[in-house]
Structure 1
Amino acid sequence: MERQLETYQKIERSIIKKFRKQLWTPFIVAVKRYELIQAGDKIAVCISGGKDSMLMAKLLQELQRHSEVPFELVYLVMDPGYNEINRQKIESNAALLHIPITVFETNIFDVANNSDKSPCYLCARMRRGHLYKKAQELGCNKIALGHHFNDVIETTVMSMFYGSQLQAMPPKLHSTNFPGMTLIRPMYCIREDDIIAWRRYNELEFIQCACRFTEACTICDNGGGGSKRQEVKVLLRRLMRDNPNIENSIFRSIHAVSLDTMPGYKSEGVEHSFLERFDRVEEELKTKKASPEGEAVREAD
């Protein structure tokens, strides 16, 4: 007689079995391709309570169980000032999924709400800082965020359309304010539609928008109901009607940037012009022309 599985075990099995191609495989691809996890890492899995971060927690939990590479996980939940319903939902989902969360509280929503600056921008910056700080206090050397494939391509399009720059979202980066800390994005290759399909299949309900400024919205994405990100989502859906491969093309393009064709680029905070290389190549060509090899070429011509 087959043993009856508990709810959390059925959810775990769905990741490995039914959604293996859509979730587990691209997760493993990202971890290996971008070298996100090394032996001895202690990773703070940052959980906001939404579908993305909750799935990321289960993926990393499953990897830790089966990986030959030893690493530690801390499931970190920062409460920036959630209302009682959202806080309770996060805790109940964590219990349902058997995710042993560590919760710490901040007053980020209060500070952002009383600021003259953009509350969303300030909130995002403060969240990241608090997460890094708490993770470091707990002895972690990495924090993991739940950004997925669609976040990556939407950010790329947004930066070009609204930020006047070609800028992507890297799969990992060093923290400049917290030396020794690294941010990783293990869901870099997982599509949002597949995350939604997994959530529906398991009949899970996660908080959608915990932000105090947009709690009433029904279509927000991390504070984005009617946002620029939402506009880009809609635009990409329209473009996919004529070109179903457009998302893949955008994703591949950020892995194949041809700097030689760019009139300008920025590296490590320093702006560069194509003229730097242009002038250097011109000097190299003059030198080559004046060399014995260049003389031989001219005689052959």
Structure 2
Amino acid sequence: MSGQKQQYNFNKLQKRLRRHVGQAISDFNMIEDGDRIMVCLSGGKDSYTLLDILMNLKASAPIHFDLVAVNLDQKQPGFPEHVLPGYLEELGVEYLIVNEDTYSIVKEKVPEGKTTCSLCSRLRRGILYRTATELKCTKVALGHHRDDILETLLLNMFYGGKLKAMPPKLVSDDGKHMVIRPLAYCREKDIIKYSEAKGFPIIPCNLCGSQPNLQRQVIKEMLQNWDRQFPGRIETMFKALQNVVPSHLADSELFDFKGLSRDNALGLEGDTAFDRESFSNPVPEDEEDEGPTIDPALTLAIKAL
């Protein structure tokens, strides 16, 4: 592939990621004037992409917000401590490396062969929330993307008996922190391509990433197979999360089935039980008409008026 063609493809990819991030920020009111956002940087492709896109957006946004990149050094053996400070110094972004030996705690508490993710996640979350308070940050940005959200949906359905995913925006249990996921609309395969093109200095997680047969990995592989075999299916699944019909599920806490009557049923979709449902084939995102390119900072400009 010629250099010109590669640059064209990269520009198209970058515009798509920026558009998705800008749309998510607008849809969920993720960033406001005066925000100080703590970007959690793990050293993986997702968090690098998150920081890169947010820095790009900050440079063109008509409102003011600050970014501070925070990495939690969990003292895993062989962790290259020099990589992130060197990279962040070169970027010129404010940053903080937090040193906490959670690795030893997890290894001590979790029996050999058992999944470490749950305990590791709880410890990491507590430290990052504490750090956000110390840094006086108004938002905590995480690098979860669309595939992560769908994987969580299916994990909860298959193993937890809940119709529950990963929200693009939430308030922490203690009510002190607003957590945002600006990559919520971004595809993992786009992030992989972007990360490779940008040459981010990826740091692998040797604590949990190497553990085999994790339930999430099984779900991930299933979604990837569907994406290859049935292009467009993943896009349709994610749209379903934004198009919920409570009256056609079975949660009596979410919808008042007991109080439903012929008199108050107007506006509901009604009974389609005897209709033969017809669905059109989903269209892969790459084939959709993306329309004119709009700077995602424009959504912030509207909010600033």
Aligned partner of 1:292 in structure 2 is none
2:151 aligned to which of 149, 154, 157 = 154
Please tell me whether residue 52 in structure 1 is matched to residue 46 in structure 2. yes
Q: Which residue of 1 aligns with 2:242?
A: 255
CA deviation map 1:38-86 (0-9, x unaligned): 1121111111111111111111112222111111211111112233443
Look up the match of 2:61.
Answer: 67
Q: CA deviation at 1:237?
A: 2.3
C-alpha contact 2:14 2:194 (8 A) present in aligned 1? no
Distance between the aligned counterparts of 1:225 and 1:99, measured in 2? Answer: 36
In 2: Cα distance, 1:156 partner to 1:171 partner: 13
The Cα shift of 1:171 comes to 0.5
How many angstroms does 1:96 deviate by? 4.4
2:134 aligned residue: 137
| Residues 62 and 92 of structure 1: CA distance in aligned 2, closer, same or farther (over 3 Å) | same
- Equivalent residue number for residue 166 of structure 2: 169
Give the drift of 1:206: 0.3
Amino acid at match of 1:279: K
Contact 2:151/2:216, CA 8 A, preserved across alignment: yes
Matched, 1:91 2:85: yes
Higher mean alpha-carbon deviation, 21-30 vs 246-255, is at 21-30
- 2:215 maps to 228
1:196 aligns with 2:192: yes
Q: Percent identity?
A: 30
**Residue aligned with 1:102, SS:** strand
SS at structure 1 position matched to 2:80: helix
2:102 counterpart residue number: 108
Matched, 1:279 2:258: yes
**Correspondence list, 1:31-50, <5 A:** 31-50=25-44
Question: Is 1:126 aligned to 2:120, yes or no?
Answer: no
> SS at the partner of 2:117?
helix
The Cα shift of 1:91 comes to 2.6
Indicate the structure with greater helix content.
1
Structure 2 counterpart SS, 1:81 = coil
Q: Deviation per CA, 1:96-121, whole angstroms, max 9, x where unpaired?
A: 44444211111221212211585320
Of stretches 152-161 and 256-265 in structure 1, the one that deviates more from structure 2 is 256-265
8 Å CA contact 2:67, 2:93 repeated in 1: no
Task: Tell me how far 1:19 sits from its aligned partner.
Answer: 2.7
Task: Tell me if structure 2 keeps the 8 A contact 1:144–1:184.
Answer: yes
Superposed, which structure 2 residues align to 1:284-295 within 5 Å?
A: none
Please state how far the C-alpha of 1:18 moved relative to its aligned partner. 4.7
Q: Tell me the equivalent position of 1:3.
A: none
Q: CA deviation at 1:14?
A: 9.6
> Which residue pairs with 1:290 in the alignment?
none
- How many residue pairs match? The answer is 255
> RMSD across aligned C-alpha pairs, in angstroms?
2.5
**C-alpha separation in 1, matches of 2:106 and 2:73:** 14
Per the TM alignment, residue 95 of structure 1 is displaced from its structure 2 partner at its CA by: 3.6
**Cα deviations by residue, 1:243-273 (Å, 9 ceiling, x for unpaired):** 21111111111111111122226xxxxxx27
Aligned equivalent of 1:238, options 225, 231, 235: 225
Alignment-mate amino acid for residue 126 of structure 2:
G
Larger relative contact order (C-alpha < 8 A, sep ≥ 6)? 2
Q: Is the Cα–Cα contact under 8 Å of residues 38 and 67 in structure 2 kept in the other structure?
A: yes
TM-score w.r.t. the length of structure 1 is 0.77
List runs of 5+ in structure 1 lacking aligned partners.
1-12, 218-223, 266-271, 286-301
In 2, the alpha carbon distance for the partners of 1:45 and 1:273 equals 34
- TM-score normalized with structure 2 length: 0.76
Larger Rg: 1
